[in-house]
Structure 1
Amino acid sequence: MYKPNFYKREVFVFRRFGRKGYSLFACLGREVVISTLSAFTLTHATAKGVSIKPIKADTIAAATDREMILGEVSVTGTRAPLASGRTVRMVRVLTKADIAAAPAQSVNDLLKLAVGVDVRQRGPIGAQTDVSIRGGNYEQIAILLNGVNICDPQTGHNAFDFPVDISEIERIEVLEGPAGRVYGTSSLSGAINIVTSSPMRTSAYARAEGGSYGYASAAVRLALSGGNAGNSISGSYTRSDGYSRNKAGGLNADYSGGKAFYQGAYAGDGIAVRWHAGMSIKDCGANTFYGVSSDDQFEHTMKTYTALQAEARAGAFRLRSSIYWNHGADRFEYFRGSEVKSPFNYHRSDVFGVSVGGYFDSPLGRTSVGAELRNEDVVSTKLGEPLSRPHHIHGTDRDYKYGLNRTNVNLMLEHNVVWRGLTVSAGLVAAKNSWNDMNMRVYPGVDISYAIGRSLTVFASCNTSLRMPSVTELYYSVDGHKADKYLKPEELTAFEGGVRYASGAVQAEASVYHNRYKNMIDWVRHTSDGPDASWESVNFTRINALGVEASLRLGLDRLMPSQHVLHSLAVSYGYIDQDKANTDGLESKYSLEYLRHKLVASLGVSVVRNVSLGLSCRWQDRTGIYTDTGGMKQSYSPYAVADARLEWLVRPCKMYVEANNLLNTTYVDYGNVPQPGFWFVAGASVEL
Structure 2
Amino acid sequence: MNKVRFNKRSTIVFKRFSNKGYSLFAALGREVLIGILSVSTLSHAKAEGISTRMEKADADSTLLHQEHELDEVSITASRAPLGSTRQARMVTVLSQKEIAAAPAQSINDLLKYIAGVDVRQRGPVGAQTDIGIRGGNYEQITILLNGVNINDPQTGHNAFDFPCSLSDIQRIEVLEGPAARVYGTSSMLGAVNIITRGYDNTGLQAGVEGGSYGYLSATARAKYADRHRWSHSLSGTYTRSDGYSRSQKGHLNMDYNGGKAFYQGRYDHADFNIRWQAGISTRSFGSNTFYSSYSDEQYERTTKTYAALQGSNKHGRLHLRPQLYWNHYTDRFELFHDNPDAYPFNYHRTNVFGAGINSWYDWSSQHRTALSAEIREEDLVSGNLGEPLDHPKPIHGTERAYTHGINRTNIQLTLEHNILLKAFTISMGLTAVKNSWSDAGTRFYPGIDASYRLSERWKVYASYNASLRMPSVTELYYNSKGYNANKHLRPEELAAVEIGIVHGAPGIRTQVNAFFNHYRNLIDWIINEKAVSQELTTTNFGQINAVGLQADVRLDLSRRLPSQRFLKSLNMAYTYLNQDQKRYEGITSQYVLEYLRHKFVANLQTQVWRALGLNFNYRFQKRNGQYAIDFDETTRKNILNRYSPYSVLDAKLTWTAPRYTLYLEANNLTGHRYADFGRLKQPGRWIMAGMSIHL
Task: Give the TM-score normalised by the residue count of structure 2.
Answer: 0.89
Deviations 1:245-265 (A, max 9, x none): 000110000000101000011
In the alignment, structure 1 residue 436 sits paired with structure 2 residue 443: no
Deviations 1:569-620 (A, max 9, x none): 0000000000015955421100000000000011001111110100011000
Tell me, in whole angstroms, the C-alpha distance in 1 between the residues paired with 2:445 and 2:495.
Answer: 9
SS at match of 1:85: helix
SS at match of 1:436: coil
Tell me, in whole angstroms, the C-alpha distance in 2 between the residues paired with 1:167 and 1:346.
Answer: 32
Q: Tell me which residue corresponds to 1:406.
A: 408
* Further displaced range: 537-546 or 1-10: 1-10
* Further displaced range: 309-318 or 368-377: 309-318
Q: How do 1:427-506 residues align onto structure 2 when only pairs under 5 Å count?
A: 427-506=429-508
Q: How do 1:213-232 residues align onto structure 2 when only pairs under 5 Å count?
A: 213-226=213-226, 227-232=228-233
Check conservation: 1:596, 1:621, Cα contact below 8 A. Answer: yes
Q: Tell me which residue corresponds to 1:129.
A: 129
Unaligned runs of 5+ in 1: 11-40, 56-72
Tell me, in whole angstroms, the C-alpha distance in 2 between the residues paired with 1:171 and 1:419.
Answer: 31
Identity %, equivalent residues: 51
Q: How do 1:574-593 residues align onto structure 2 when only pairs under 5 Å count?
A: 574-580=575-581, 585-593=586-594
Q: Tell me which residue corresponds to 1:512.
A: 514
Q: How do 1:542-621 residues align onto structure 2 when only pairs under 5 Å count?
A: 542-580=543-581, 585-621=586-622
Structure 1 letter corresponding to 2:594: E
Check conservation: 2:48, 2:75, Cα contact below 8 A. Answer: no
Structure 2 letter corresponding to 1:599: F
Q: Tell me which residue corresponds to 2:686.
A: 679
1:534–1:185 CA distance, 2 compared to 1 (3 A): same
Tell me, in whole angstroms, the C-alpha distance in 1 between the residues paired with 2:547 and 2:611.
Answer: 45
Deviations 1:371-393 (A, max 9, x none): 00000001100100011110100
1:459–1:271 CA distance, 2 compared to 1 (3 A): same
Tell me, in whole angstroms, the C-alpha distance in 2 between the residues paired with 1:233 and 1:614.
Answer: 30
Check conservation: 1:170, 1:197, Cα contact below 8 A. Answer: yes
Q: Tell me which residue corresponds to 1:7.
A: 7
Tell me, in whole angstroms, the C-alpha distance in 1 between the residues paired with 2:584 and 2:440.
Answer: 33
1:224–1:54 CA distance, 2 compared to 1 (3 A): farther
Q: Tell me which residue corresponds to 1:522.
A: 524
Check conservation: 1:332, 1:346, Cα contact below 8 A. Answer: yes
In the alignment, structure 1 residue 47 sits paired with structure 2 residue 54: no
Structure 1 letter corresponding to 2:652: R
Q: Tell me which residue corresponds to 2:18.
A: none
SS at match of 2:198: coil
Tell me, in whole angstroms, the C-alpha distance in 2 between the residues paired with 1:108 and 1:129.
Answer: 7
Tell me, in whole angstroms, the C-alpha distance in 2 between the residues paired with 1:110 and 1:170.
Answer: 13
Check conservation: 1:505, 1:558, Cα contact below 8 A. Answer: yes
Q: How do 1:14-163 residues align onto structure 2 when only pairs under 5 Å count?
A: 47-48=46-47, 50-53=49-52, 76-163=76-163
1:676–1:582 CA distance, 2 compared to 1 (3 A): farther
Check conservation: 1:292, 1:629, Cα contact below 8 A. Answer: no
More strand by share: 1
Tell me, in whole angstroms, the C-alpha distance in 2 between the residues paired with 1:374 and 1:572.
Answer: 37
Check conservation: 2:6, 2:46, Cα contact below 8 A. Answer: no
Structure 2 letter corresponding to 1:655: L
Deviations 1:254-308 (A, max 9, x none): 0001010000112112101111000000000110111222111000000001000
Task: Give the TM-score normalised by the residue count of structure 1.
Answer: 0.90
Q: Tell me which residue corresponds to 2:383.
A: 381
Q: When the two structures are aligned, how many residues end up with a matched partner? A: 640
Q: Tell me which residue corresponds to 1:26.
A: none
Q: Tell me which residue corresponds to 1:640.
A: 647
How far apart are 1:53 and its partner, in Å? 4.9
1:43–1:332 CA distance, 2 compared to 1 (3 A): closer
Tell me, in whole angstroms, the C-alpha distance in 2 between the residues paired with 1:49 and 1:448.
Answer: 18
Structure 2 letter corresponding to 1:593: E
How far apart are 1:199 and its partner, in Å? 2.3
Structure 2 letter corresponding to 1:409: I
Tell me, in whole angstroms, the C-alpha distance in 2 between the residues paired with 1:528 and 1:423.
Answer: 52
Check conservation: 1:582, 1:625, Cα contact below 8 A. Answer: no
Q: Tell me which residue corresponds to 1:369.
A: 371
Check conservation: 1:75, 1:174, Cα contact below 8 A. Answer: no
SS at match of 1:103: coil
Tell me, in whole angstroms, the C-alpha distance in 1 between the residues paired with 2:329 and 2:143.
Answer: 15
Check conservation: 2:2, 2:554, Cα contact below 8 A. Answer: no
CA-atom RMSD in angstroms: 2.0
Tell me, in whole angstroms, the C-alpha distance in 2 between the residues paired with 1:75 and 1:386.
Answer: 45
Tell me, in whole angstroms, the C-alpha distance in 2 between the residues paired with 1:9 and 1:182.
Answer: 28
How far apart are 1:224 and its partner, in Å? 0.3
1:9–1:107 CA distance, 2 compared to 1 (3 A): closer
In the alignment, structure 1 residue 195 sits paired with structure 2 residue 195: yes
Structure 2 letter corresponding to 1:400: Y
Deviations 1:191-249 (A, max 9, x none): 00000000243232111000000000010101100111210000001000000000011
Q: Tell me which residue corresponds to 2:282.
A: 281
Q: How do 1:228-239 residues align onto structure 2 when only pairs under 5 Å count?
A: 228-239=229-240
Q: How do 1:284-299 residues align onto structure 2 when only pairs under 5 Å count?
A: 284-299=285-300
Tell me, in whole angstroms, the C-alpha distance in 2 between the residues paired with 1:610 and 1:582.
Answer: 57
Q: Tell me which residue corresponds to 1:352.
A: 353
How far apart are 1:5 and its partner, in Å? 3.5
How far apart are 1:6 and its partner, in Å? 2.1
Structure 2 letter corresponding to 1:671: G
In the alignment, structure 1 residue 663 sits paired with structure 2 residue 673: no
Unaligned runs of 5+ in 2: 11-31, 38-44, 55-72, 632-637
How far apart are 1:482 and its partner, in Å? 0.5
Tell me, in whole angstroms, the C-alpha distance in 1 between the residues paired with 2:513 and 2:299.
Answer: 42
1:510–1:584 CA distance, 2 compared to 1 (3 A): closer
Check conservation: 1:9, 1:454, Cα contact below 8 A. Answer: no
Structure 2 letter corresponding to 1:538: T
1:504–1:666 CA distance, 2 compared to 1 (3 A): same
1:333–1:441 CA distance, 2 compared to 1 (3 A): same
Deviations 1:385-441 (A, max 9, x none): 011110100001111000000000000111112111111111111000000333111
Check conservation: 1:312, 1:320, Cα contact below 8 A. Answer: yes
Tell me, in whole angstroms, the C-alpha distance in 2 between the residues paired with 1:159 and 1:614.
Answer: 29
* Further displaced range: 85-94 or 645-654: 85-94
Q: Tell me which residue corresponds to 1:424.
A: 426
How far apart are 1:88 and its partner, in Å? 2.1
Check conservation: 1:101, 1:614, Cα contact below 8 A. Answer: yes
